[in-house]
Structure 1
């Protein structure tokens, strides 16, 4: 059974829709900017910039919904509705429609705002919707209720690998006959003083407060950490038979996904990249092809000194000399790192790269690290003719590795 992508949606630091985000990505834009909120100075944050959603959720959703949803759920609903409309709002029995959604942190704004309310104003002022809003499964539930999806509304929480794992799960749920159509993806809304302070204390964030647009620079010798981002993306997956029966437009085939774990360290990746390499090999094996069929990779590439090299080691372990023939894009340079939503955004970009046969650029690469000799796409590049296989990589704290594969159709 072939599984295909028939709908895409997103709200990112580059644009309020998937098309706006894709256009800005190809134009080489950056979504990072200085944070103007009062809480930056109030908390004396050492990092004063991030990649905020280009279009605030309250500009899209009715006020009654924004009041009852954590920002992570707001982004999820916006992305899912766009993807659903893009797929043609397929008529499907609720019992055959599923949701596989992800987040890395969940409703952090709701949780911490409620804690402030409890401390400052007492328990009677804590909102009764606090727990439903802060639950990590809140975004999946919001989408499921909005689209009446009753084949399951599942949530993955595996740090920055989360939404790629959700795509892998969605593929398996359709393949195993549990659903005909699944909305998969992920969202995150963690541009909050506490996550910023914590990531900064870990030395994980870029310190380029004076130059946010050039702060995320994967593979560059001067890279010094990632840029925190927010938003989300959704993909509508269904069997090729189901899609063709309703005359749907098909973007690409999903060849499947693989999930492994390092069992090495809670935050640092295994420098040898053996488990990450196994995830890539298993994803390729699901396609029935070989490593030489892979022509493009949207890399995890967070712009951290250690992480970028670890991923390179994993890539070289898998592809050997063929890696020199693979065009690599590191789109976090433009979007920042959306944590649990990153994989879904990058998967959507990978699907569009195949569908439009245009590989997106990696911005801010000035002096490439000689220890990472990849063919990095630095300006939009034609994909060329013929069948093409592409991977989207995601790796997260806890040693989580997830890889999704896509093929032209």
Structure 2
């Protein structure tokens, strides 16, 4: 009398008279802990779409590698991303430093951890999948996203399973998660086994993070209507099209006037339409540290320029690894006048033409035009889509 459902087990009940009537069953939910913990937020019979999201045909970069996004894997990754149980004192999750409301970044310069604060500003996690650069962290110390996902967990200051300074090792986290009912069910659901390993955690977290995409911006609406980025976008204002041209065009040094003309050359490091960072980029001239002591010339990675700000122009937290820049105007101003600081042997060659720091001599209208263009790179859905939101009840 019951329709067969793949995820429900049935136990036959015998009548008290001793007869065996297999038409009477009591359904048993193998994912009762998932249901009890997350309610309707996670439905194992109807998962959110992570694996088959629409990607514009002009987006060609993809660093997924051998860890293809699945609805099951990304669902587990979402739970792990938001679960404070992944920290040693149950107070910090990945989402504590990478907040959906701020393009998966933080509004503070240094994010709070279990034993202090982060050494660099928390990088935005928008469109991390769509980049040639596969390495992660500002200094590229993680060879890929999978490796990166558990490094903050193993950091004494951030999430506290370092195995040093009195911390439990990562194996302590494995033991901890193995006692939690919804993880037993989730790992069984995703991998066919309750066994929890670091590799499985890495795969799931990376799938969730790579699923976070933003392609509903004014830029994307315009780009879909033209053959290439160099053409005027019909939905752009004249100012926005001017800013786009300045962004795409390289600067040209005029020896007669001893000035730089042309564009800003931003696309040399942040190529459209992904606006990711070129893998061979040096540092950008910002070599300070958050604590203000010493210099750091190893920071050569950057997030995509998409969703630098929200649609209303407010920032998604400070920019750069030190959080020293807080407005688009200040960011453009930095690249307009590059100071070649003593000791910076790793400044990107594109920022030191003729051996000197770049001097663009931008006019106020040009700066405003580039700002207008950068604002077109911001979408809306990424800030509110429930599939990337906290699955735990508030």
Normalised by the length of structure 1, the TM-score is 0.27
Normalised by the length of structure 2, the TM-score is 0.28
Which structure features the higher share of strand residues? 1
The structure, 1 or 2, with the larger RCO (C-alpha pairs under 8 Å, 6+ apart) is 1
